[in-house]
Amino acid sequence: MSCWIGIDVAKAVLDGVVRTTGEVVQFPNDATGHTALVAWATPLAPTGLVLEATGGYERAVVLALAAAGLPVVVVHPRQVRDFARSTGHLAKTDRLDAAVLALFAERVQPAVRPLSDAATAALAELITRRRQVRDMLTMEKNRLPLVRTRVRRDVPAHSTWLERRLDDTDDALRRAIEASPVWRGQEELLRSVPGMGPVVSRTLLALLPELGHLNRKQIAALAGVAPLARESGTWHGRRTVGGAGPGAARAVHGRLGGESAPSGPPCAVHPAARGGEAGHGGAGGVHAQTPRHPQCHAPHRDTVADRRGLISKTVAERSEGSLCLEAW
């Protein structure tokens, strides 16, 4: 009999529920609590322990469980919340959330995937920090025209400090890539695609380790650039892209900033696919137009690729085992 365990992660505590027996436990969310959780869960031989991504508070306990050889799965909170609503679980407490996670795991049975190694996790953390610093720098520059008096002197000083931190982070990323022959080769392959700069290539290396191991449609969906169909009968709605986190999707959409495309052939990402500039709605605000209902709109001949190509038709491929970037 399968044994699924749901674990709700909070900043201070971890609430666990065993689906088969209904047993409820609670541990502190610190090193001592993680050790106790491992000691409690190991004799149960669970099919899987399921947690929600909780803004980083789940990382330490996930690593502790994985190090103990326990099958751990981190799922998207939206999936679990939608599942809870569909099954009539509208109340929300930490203990109820753990029970819903256990039920979700039993019904959906999410696949247990290998975790990133320590080096990849460290690279992803640097990429995340770079995005945070870049966002803070943008906010400070936007504030400058609105401030007066002595505060006006503080904003440029802080912006200068953030620019130095951004440069330091870029240097750390460059050193990390150069220290790994595998990453160095993968980055060279990615940079061979016209329009692919260092920020995008390093973001993909850190946040999309599946690149090169999935087919073109799977990797596009995972990156959040696959147009999602919205059709019913003869009605064909506007397709949107989305579903990914703020890292890889923002990089592919060209929104990380601070990187200009090299001159030469067309960019790997069409300018119209830039998030926030291409339309309304969807993650990043990117739309791929499809033929709409004939009774509401005049017919047109544009296809998804003609209208808003998200990835160019440039193909960079090597022999077996290498990365392959293809057009969607």
* Helix, strand or coil, per DSSP, at residue 242: coil
Structure tokens at 210: 């599946």
In the prediction, which pLDDT does 251 show?
A: 66
Range name among 19-28, 182-191, 236-245, 293-302 with the lowest pLDDT average = 293-302
Question: Would you give the DSSP letter of residue 56?
Answer: T
In whole angstroms, give the CA distance from residue 13 to residue 24: 13
Highest-pLDDT range among 34-38, 204-208, 271-275 = 34-38
Q: Where does the pLDDT of residue 206 fall: very low under 50, low under 70, confident under 90, or very high at 90 and above?
A: confident
- Domain ranges across the chain: 4-108, 118-207, 213-328
Locate the DSSP E strands across the chain. 4-9, 13-18, 24-28, 48-52, 72-75, 231-232, 235-236, 239-240, 287-288, 316-317, 324-325
Q: In what order do the strands lie in the sheet with 24-28?
A: 24-28, 13-18, 4-9, 48-52, 72-75
User: Over 70: is that where the pLDDT of 265 sits?
Assistant: no
Q: Which two tokens stand for residue 177?
A: 């890539």
d(C-alpha 5, C-alpha 15), whole Å? 10
In angstroms, what CA-CA distances link 74 with 53, 104, 306? 6, 12, 37
- Name the burial class of residue 7, with classes exposed (0-12), middle (13-18) and buried (19+) by CB atoms within 10 angstroms of its CB: buried
Mean pLDDT of 291-299: 44
CB 26 within 8 A of CB 13: yes
Window from 18-27, 143-152, 179-188, 271-280 with minimum mean pLDDT? 271-280
Tell me: domain 4-108, CATH 3.30.420.40, correct?
A: yes
Give the number of other Cβ atoms within 10 Å of residue 51's Cβ.
25
Q: Is the pLDDT score of 152 beyond 70?
A: yes
Residue 307: φ, ψ to 5° = -75, -55
pLDDT at 238 over 80: yes
Tell me what pLDDT residue 245 has.
57
225, 233 Cβ separation under 8 angstroms: no
Calpha distance 22→19 (Å, rounded)? 5
CA-based nearest residue to 304, from 285, 320, 287: 287
Backbone angles phi, psi at 324, to 5 degrees: -145, 115
SS3 232: strand
pLDDT at 284 over 60: no
Of the segments 156-160, 227-231, 288-292, which one has the largest average pLDDT value? 156-160
Would you call 318 helix, strand, or coil by DSSP?
Answer: coil
pLDDT at residue 83 in the model: 94
